[in-house]
Amino acid sequence: MNCHPSYRSLLLLPALLSCHLLIAQLPVDREPHHKVIFGNSYLRLLEGTIPVIDTTAAHLHAANSVVVFLSHSTFGIQIAGEKPVIATVNPGDLKYVAYGDKPVTHIVWNQTPPVFHFFVAELSKRPPAKDSCPILSQPGATLQWQQKSVTAYYLDIPDSQPYSLPPSGCARLLIDIAGTISTGSRSLQPDNYVFFPPQSKIEIKGNARCVLLEIK
């Protein structure tokens, strides 16, 4: 069987996946379309880029993760032994996936221009922590969901005045989705990120929509 890595048609996907699985399965950090761009004791952040009409190798996810989509894309995903799923996402869409509770091997392909771009924030296994991260209730912060080890928000930051986040017992990952902001000495453009350790006081200036992850 010719194991060509590119996506051809939905009709070829079962054979394609079987072909990929004949090759040694890769942990996600060794799959060529994924790159580790940051890591510490709280998380490991991978950047995914898949050109149009391209397919990843079969790869293994084994850590509970948050996926943050950075492009408007229609993509396919197929877990070994299951039917393919097609989805369309927009910049800023995000979801929690419990890969650490149930590891998954899959392939992913991009069906539409431009490059399919996303982050995967893998959450480190840490001792249970006290709930020291009260839900943000300030203007501009919109709670999306809350899991045992991570809480996700959208932050809509106005240009009229500096925007402050109070110190928290959680670490925070801020991802710029649209607009330009600065925090401390760092300027963020779309698809950029910054990590803040617990108890950081955060001052943000600019006009942007961001994703904020609070990680216990």
**Cβ(157)–Cβ(208) below 8 Å:** yes
Residue 39 confidence (pLDDT) above 70? yes
- 81-116 pLDDT, tens digit per residue, is 899 999 999 999 999 999 999 999 999 999 999 999
> Tokens representing 151?
């809480």
| Count of other CB atoms within 10 angstroms of residue 141 | 16
For residue 192, name the pLDDT band (cuts at 50, 70, 90).
very high
DSSP 184: T
Q: Is the dihedral of CA 98, 174, 199, 43 positive or negative?
A: positive
Residue 112, CA distances (Å) to 68, 78, 85, 115 in order: 18, 17, 15, 8
Instruction: Please report the domains of the chain, with CATH numbers, ordered by start residue.
Output: 10-123 (2.60.120.10), 141-215 (2.60.120.10)
Residue 8 confidence (pLDDT) above 70? no
**Cβ(140)–Cβ(158) below 8 Å:** yes
